Amino acid sequence: MALQPSLRPLLIAGRPDAPHTLDVFLDYVCPFSGKLSVALDTVVKPLVDGGKYDGKIKVIFRNQVQPWHGSSTFTHEAGLAVARAAPEKFWAFSLLLLKKQGEYYDIPTSSLSPIQIREKLAGLADEAGLSQSQVAEFKDLLINKSTPNGGVSVTDDLKYTIKFSRQNGVHVSPSVLWDGLLANEVSSSWGDKEWNDFFAAKVTV
């Protein structure tokens, strides 16, 4: 499993030692990513966590920053901050952010400063169930460092996720890798039948 230790919360379903890997590249402000996230939560996770494919498939969330959306970087920094401050809440926060992604689209955030966007995301972290101490840590992780261009405390994690996408030729969201190879047939419109058919054809153990 290609995940540096700080990003282990991005394993959102399945066991770490499962032989098959489904990497799902999502952008928090992409409508199609939002649509696919619902299928991941309602169809894929039940099949992988205690279902037919328990122990056979693991599902990894991959942050896919799309820089043509002004707030994409800020939302992904927030997701990575939750992964550090409250790892058990990462998927719940991600689902909530994807559900409310319209609040972070280009026009709604066009008059907000980076600090205001991050404060708004802190409110979302609270809504996702982070404790007060976890929200405080979340905020601290998103404070700019003392150097003028040093980023925040999760910038290195963000760099890792972007480099991973680039080396795998992932350019858009959502995109899916199955066992390390792009599975271009996967669609955000897939439901129960399509996912079951996909796994039936792909799972070999």
Domain count, the chain: 1
pLDDT in tens, 51-73: 999 999 999 999 999 999 999 99
**22: phi > 0 → left, psi -120 to 50 → alpha, else beta; which?**
beta
Q: What is the CATH number of the domain that holds 40?
A: 3.40.30.10
Query: pTM (2 decimals)?
Result: 0.96
Which tokens sit at 165? 């996408």
Element (H, E) at 22: strand 20-26
Q: How does DSSP classify residue 145?
A: P
Percent above pLDDT 70 for the chain: 100
Q: How does DSSP classify residue 175?
A: E
Which tokens sit at 176? 């899916």
**Domain around 193:** 5-202
Question: What are the backbone dihedrals phi and psi of residue 174, each rounded to the nearest 5 degrees, phi first?
Answer: -80, 150
What is the per-residue pLDDT for 1?
60
Longest dimension (CA), the chain: 52
pLDDT in tens, 104-155: 999 999 999 999 999 999 999 999 999 999 999 999 999 998 899 999 999 9
Contact between residue 57 and residue 178 where contact means Cβ atoms under 8 Å apart: no
DSSP string, 146-174: SSTT---TTHHHHHHHHHHHHHTT--SSS
Q: Which of 18, 94, 84, 9 is nearest to 50 (CA)?
A: 18
- CA dist 129 to 73, 86, 124, 138, Å? 22, 9, 9, 12
Q: How does DSSP classify residue 14?
A: S
